Amino acid sequence: MGVSLPAYQVQLLIAIGLLGVYAGWRGGMQRMAGFYDMPSATKHLAYGLVLGAFSAIFIDQLFITTVASTGVVYFEFILLMFFIGLFQALLVHFVLTRKNVRMLRAPPTSGWTMGLGMGAIQASYLMIRMADPLWPLLYSGFNLMMIGLGVWITLFMPALEGV
């Protein structure tokens, strides 16, 4: 993915995406987290950021690029996205059922933060794609409408990944 955006626009969009971690942390984590599992939660937040970047690139290459160029969403793409979501859930389940996570009784907080990281990076990636002036869909270019949609995505995508 090569977009012709200035660095300050990319940095602003990534910062907006990472605000989703803050919103999700203040919205859900604050009620269920004890201080004993914060190191585990922050470690899994970093895992979520990396997994979110890989899954965003994967989804972009398999789905978004084709839909943007053809303008058609095929039924096979819907099934593919469903299986990608299942794969993400299985991967999170695999990571969170390791012995050291279970011994701390930290899977809820670790899973929540891992999902927040995945959703934040995926939201940032999608905003960068939408800010591209050559993006063929409805919201294209770096403008207030795209930033508003990006803020909306940022507030909901990390929380949905965290759940």
Q: How many helices (H) and strands (E) does the chain have?
A: 8, 0
pLDDT for 33: 54
67: helix, strand or coil: helix
155: tokens are 């507030």
- Cα(25)–Cα(31) distance, rounded to whole angstroms? 9
What 24-30 contacts at long range (C-beta under 8 Å, 24+ apart), as own/partner pairs, is 24/112, 24/115, 24/116, 24/119, 24/158, 24/159, 24/162, 25/113, 25/116, 27/159, 28/112, 28/159, 28/162, 29/109, 29/112, 29/113, 29/116
Look-up of token digits 């922050």? 42
Domain positions in the chain are 12-29+39-162
Digitized pLDDT (tens) for each residue of the chain, 163 residues in all? 567 788 899 899 999 988 888 887 776 666 665 555 677 778 888 888 998 899 888 888 888 888 777 877 888 888 888 888 888 888 777 777 767 666 666 666 777 788 888 888 988 998 888 888 877 767 778 888 888 888 888 887 766 665 5
pLDDT of res. 58: 87
